[in-house]
Chains A and B, each alone.
Chain A
């Protein structure tokens, strides 16, 4: 019988585990005897990609063709990748999905495809170890992954030919591995500092139920940051010949050396190294543990805020135990930091590198057998889901830390007389303005019968499944017109795109993608122009003539660009309009907050909690007019 497997698809290393005949989770060997598969993929100009340790060894000589830490790019869209993450790579951001450009520009691959290569190797290794193709699988994700990143991970699983039974949050997986071991009871914190991501979750364990109370994190914080800092210092001090603009290959070599030195400093007080780097460079380094700690202290300090927020969100002052996850938690400084934060010695019985995979295997096995009577995971959604309102303000529909699956419904009304369409812009995040949140999808509810403003009632329902993935539906209540969409993140892959990749004919999709992008940016342009026009009507008095003229001029530029076919130009003009109208948006926000403070919205709050439509007279409760 095919056995289910659990996969930890990590930033630095990936693992696969299963539950053996004696009901114990075990990590399986991959790639010639090791349990850790480096999450590295090397693309040779011809031939199949190479994955794992072999690929990692290629990194120094072929830095651009060897993708490391691809997890940082999962679910990211054009213009979405942080400068510090770009590293040495080149990106093709012309399509809806970001691609990494390889082999001197002759090849481009999406992060999803790169991840799928890693998953294929894990799947093959599992098949060899288990003597047959594995059944379903559970793949772990950082708890703080947003909808787009989750979708991308699931797509990678499908692309690798895996049946993904569930996405599981990494801290929850770790707790599962620990909890089963200990039959514990109480409130636990999981401190997960991986290669590229940081998560902290607070869970309550009771009678086999793992209830996640809160989760907070940072998808751009991890051990990789330590290595970059160490590499920079070592190069300043000991790189010969001196080189202020080292090539990607030299940088790669230096970072690899830094990682090794950092790891050795866990057991030693001082490490000296003399490393040959590519292109005739050489790195002579001497680093003490105290120096290392001074370097990485600021990064470690960045984990304090999330831990405090998590405790506050969980309404907990003290925890009964702290679990450490991720290789970076071996660093003595990190352990001291955790001890101080939570006032106790962290639990370290399980290997922080494998604990997530073990938990994933337990969950995969349980799911495969139709669940276990004795164990239940109740996880939460990490970031609030909302909808953009007039003026770009976000109305939250499902709050972060809600137990999933979850759903919520809110009613909205039309803004203009005779309005027949409504744009629903779905966003995720905690910020107040939609443009500061992650845009997940945008769709238009059409066919609202023309009525005076504020009469039509549109009900929007958000439903999040057990993987943390969202589905949105909108219904006009007087006519019953309904539209339902599985929220595919704006920058994610569509079903068709995945199919396309499966048959490896990505090229043909190019043109469609460009076309779709043009359409999307035109819609975005329309939306912004429309919402500014309305805002001028309502709050035009907040602007001086000169300010208004500056905005008007850029709006004209945007209109001209929208008449053309270059979506990048439209995008640039949108940014320009945004920049020019930023102060205006802020003043409007202030005004509405002042109004709220003056009690004008007292009644609206009560309405929102009993799910009644907002008062007809209230403008800030209206969804944007699609333009009628």
Chain B
């Protein structure tokens, strides 16, 4: 593969270079970069949150458009592009649901676009029960019950996150488990909604 060259001084660069080592100009995002590589990480589900945040901040410090307010237009544009990608990457990676979905996409397993549905009758049955309990607590304005429901749903979410984490530990997850992972992401969505509704309800009832 041909190496990219600096747009300003035409020096040959390693791919993924942020700044040209000779003229110090900011370089465009390479086509091959993904959200993990943008933050200097391996494509893995498991990550150290504190490390992710540290990387994000250090990169933001040098890439943010604030550093380029007086630079030439091309540098300003590249900085905006890089900072945008970095923020997008951070947003995806810090949320385990988005991180898992992104890994599925990168693996090209494309479980979602084949029109497959995740028949999950037992889960949906259970969801109706959760929803009923939530509706009851909301109509009673029962703050304690709403908080309890939110806590219980959060606990479920933690359980699902652990399950998904376990699946990604499997060496063959991308061939064996994508449907299972996707199903759990769908379930997480339901619990996320319950947490949001219950907390909103508790705040409203608390006044």
Contacts and interface: CB of A to CB of B under 8 A. Distances in A.
Interface of A: 136, 165-166, 206-207, 209, 211, 304-305, 308-309, 312, 363, 366-371, 373, 376-378, 402-408, 463, 465-466, 597-599, 602-603, 605-607, 609-613, 615-616
Contact residues of B: prevailing secondary structure: helix
Contact of A376 (B60, B80, B90, B110): B60
B112 A607 contact: yes
A352 to B, nearest CB: 25
A449 B111 CA distance: 28
A370 B112 contact: no
A153 to B, nearest CB: 17
Nearest to B182: A606
A368 B90 CA distance: 27
A603 B64 contact: no
A209 B110 contact: no
A597 B124 CA distance: 9
Given A376-B60, A376-B61, A612-B113, A408 B66 contact: no
Interface string B174-207: 0000000010011001000000000100010001
Nearest to B100: A609
Interface centre among A305, A599, A607, by most chain B C-beta atoms within 10 angstroms, is A599
A407 B80 CA distance: 11
B66 A406 contact: no
Interface in B45-100: 57, 60-61, 64-71, 80, 83-85, 87-88, 90-91, 97-98
Contacts of A602: 117-118, 120, 186, 189
B6 interface: no
Interface in B122-150: 124, 127, 131
A613 B113 contact: yes
B118 A370 contact: no
A516 B2 CA distance: 51
Contacts of A368: 69-70
Given A305-B203, A597-B131, A406 B88 contact: yes
A150 B99 CA distance: 32
Contacts of B90: 403
Interface stretch (B13-21, B101-109, B161-169): B101-109
A406 B91 contact: yes
Contacts of B88: 406-408
B172 interface: no
Contact of B66 (A207, A466, A603): A466
A371 B64 contact: yes
Contacts of A610: 101-102, 104-105, 112
Contacts of B87: 402-406
B116 interface: yes
Nearest to A367: B69
A367 B66 contact: yes
A369 B71 CA distance: 10
Contacts of A378: 60, 64
Interface centre among A366, A369, A371, A607, by most chain B C-beta atoms within 10 angstroms, is A371
Contacts of B85: 407
A209 B66 contact: no
Contacts of B127: 597
A463 B101 CA distance: 22
Given A305-B207, A466-B80, A367 B118 contact: no
B68 A373 contact: no
Given A308-B203, A371-B67, A403 B91 contact: yes
Given A207-B57, A606-B185, 11 more contacts: A367-B69, A368-B70, A370-B69, A370-B71, A373-B61, A376-B60, A597-B131, A602-B120, A603-B112, A606-B101, A612-B105
Nearest to A598: B124
Contacts of A616: 115
Contacts of A404: 87
A38 to B, nearest CB: 31
Nearest to A376: B61
A145 B199 CA distance: 26
A209 B57 contact: yes
A598 B101 CA distance: 22
A596 B170 CA distance: 32
A603 B117 contact: yes
Nearest to A377: B66
Nearest to B188: A605
Contact of A209 (B61, B102, B104, B189): B61
A408 B92 CA distance: 11
A599 B112 contact: no
Contacts of A363: 66
Interface centre among A206, A463, A465, A605, by most chain B C-beta atoms within 10 angstroms, is A605
22 contacts: A136-B69, A207-B57, A209-B57, A304-B207, A308-B203, A312-B199, A367-B69, A368-B70, A369-B70, A371-B64, A371-B67, A373-B61, A376-B61, A407-B84, A466-B66, A602-B117, A602-B189, A603-B112, A603-B117, A606-B101, A606-B186, A613-B113
Nearest to A613: B113
Q: Which 8 A-B pairs have the closest CB atoms?
A: A371-B67, A367-B69, A405-B84, A610-B105, A609-B101, A466-B65, A403-B87, A607-B112
